Structure 1
Amino acid sequence: MASSDMKICSLCYEDDDDGSFTDAVEWCIECEVFLCTDCEKHHKKSRTSKDHKTMSTKDYHELPRFMQEISNQCRDHKKKFDLYCSFHACPCCVTCITDKHQKCQEMKSLSDVLEQIKSSASVQLLEKDLKDVKESFEEIKKYLKSMMETSDIQKQKAAEKIQSMRKSIDDYLNKIEKDILDDLESKQSKLKSQMNALLQQLTQRANVISQLQSEFSKMTQYATDLQMYVGLREIEKTTSQAAEYIEDLKSGGQFDENNIEVTISSEVQSILKDVKIIWRY
C-alpha cells in the first residue's frame, strides 16, 4: 500500500520514466492506489474497476492511521487475501497456505467471514460500548469539575474560618495582654508604695541620727561631765535602737531584690507548637 502522506498518482508514477509526477485526487479503496484526474476517469470506465469505491485524497488522509496501514493484499506474497485462518485469526493469500498455514485446519473463505460485517451484532455492540465509555468519561469529567468547584468553595469557607479564628485569637490575646499589663501595673505600684513607705521610715530615722550627730558634736564641746555622762547613755540607746532596726530590716528580707518578671505558662507556649490544621479528604 502507498504511504499515508503520498499525494501523487500511483499509476502515473509507475509508468513515467522521466521523473514527472501527477497530483492524485482520488484513492481507490479496493485497488489501494492513488489516482489523478485522468487515471480516475479510466478507472471508472474499466470493466474490472468501474464498481470500485473511491474517496478523495483529503478524506483518505483523514482516516485513522490503523485503517491506512491495513491492506487487502499480503505483504509477503503481494497477492490478494482470499482466506482466513481461524486458528491464527489472520487473513491469508493462497501462497500463505503452503508457506505458513499447512497444518491449519480451520481455513475459511475471507468473503464469508467478512460478509455483512458492518451490519453484524458485534458492530452494533461495539458502537454501544463506545457510546457507554464516552458517556462514562463525560460523567467522570463532570464529576471532577464539580469536585474542583466544590473545592474552591470549601477553600473560601476555610479561609474565612481561619480569618475569623485569627480575629478571635487576636481579641483574646489582646485581652490577656491588657489583664497582664494591668496586673503588672498593680503589682509594681504596690511594690513602689511599700518601698516608699520604708524609704520614709529610713529617712526619718536617718534624720534622727543626723540630729544626734550634731548634738553629740556640741556635747563634746560644751557639755559638763554629768551632761556628757547622761547624754552618752541617751545617744547610745538611740544608736543601738537604730542599729537593731537596720539588722531587723536585713534579716527580715526588706533589702532583698524584688524583680518584676513575667512567666508564660507552658500551656500558652504550646499554642505556637500545637496549632495544626487537619485536612479531611
Structure 2
Amino acid sequence: MKVLRDHKMISIEDYRQIENISVNLNCEIHGKKLDLYCKKHDIAVCVVCIPSDHKSCSSSDVISIDEASKNAKLSTSLLDLEGTISATIDNVRLCIEDREIALTNVDQDKQTISKTITDTRKNLNEYLDKLERKLLLELKSKHENCKSEIMKILIKLRQMETEVEKMKEQTLQMKRFASDLQVFLGTRQLNQVLCKKVGSLKEEIRDYTNNNMEIEVNHVISSLMNEVKQFGEIRVSEAMVELQLKDAKTDQAQIQIYGLSQSIQNVNLKLIQKFDIKESEPSIYGCVLLPDDKIIIIDDESGKLMEYNYDGQHIRDIPVSDRPDSLTLVDTDCIAVTYGLHSSDGLEWKDIKYHRCR
C-alpha cells in the first residue's frame, strides 16, 4: 500500500520482543511528535518547542530526528548504556556479596559466642542456669536484629539487580529489533532511569555498617558465683563499610558535535605509550584499540593478530585464515578482518572473546 511504502516491517515474533519497551515518541510538554533534534541543547524536540525554547538556536543546530537517529544502534551512547548496565549489575552484585559475607560473619559471631557461653557454663553450678538463659535470649535478640537489618538491605539489592537485569535484556532486545528512532530515544530514557538507580545504590551503601557481636565474660564468675548477677554482656560494634563501586560512563553524547575545522598541518602528535612487539621482525599493517584498552595488532608477515595490554605485555596470538590486511572494531567482542587481493577470504568476522570466526 502507498501509505505503508516508507514503513519498516518486522515480524510479529520480533515485535513481541520489544512491545514492553517503553519509548516516548511525543513531546512531554506539548504532546506533539518528536520530529526534530537540537544539537546545541542535545535534546529531541517537537515543532512547538522551537519558537518557545530554542529561539537562539541556529538552523544548523536543529536537524530532523531521522537524521539525528541514523546508526543509533552503533552509537557510543548505546555502547555506554550497555556498559553502564553491566557495571551497575556488577556493583549490585558486589554489594550483595558484601552483605552475604556480613551475614555469615554475624552467624559465626553467634556460634563463637554460644560456644564460649557453653564452655564457661560447664564449670558453674545450677545457680548460673538463670543467668545463662537470660544472656542467650539477649544474644538471640541482638543477633536477630543485626540479621534483620542485613536481610532488608539484601532484599533491596536483589530487587535492584533484577530491575537492572531486566533493563539489560530490554536494551539487547531494543538493539536487535527496535527502530533507530526507538533506540535513540530509548537509550536516553533508559540512561535516565539507570542514573537514578546508580544514585540510589550509592546513597544506599553510604550508610552500610558491619555489626560485629562479641561477648565479655565476667572474670570473677568462677570464684564469686553468689555475687554475679549477670553472666556477660552482648555488645554490637559498628564499622563503616567501604565498597569501591565501578564508575560507568553515563550520559555520553550520541550525536557527533562538530567544532571548528582544523588543518592537519596544525595538528601536533604526542607519544602516549611505547612498547616492544613480541616478534623479532614483525610486519605491522595496522591495529585497533579495544574498549578495555587492550590493543590488537596485525602482523602480516606471520599472518596472525597479536593482542597486547596497555602496558605492552603480550597476551595472546589470535589465528586468522590468511594474511590480514586491515581490521576494525565492530562490537565490544567482535572485530572485522579484511584480506588482500591475493586472498580468497575477503572479509571475516571474528569473535575475539571466544576465537569464533564466521
User: Do they fold alike, i.e. is TM over 0.5?
Assistant: no
Greater gyration radius: 1
Higher helix share: 1
Q: Structure 1-normalised TM-score?
A: 0.39
Which structure is higher in RCO with an 8 Å CA cutoff and minimum separation 6? Answer: 2
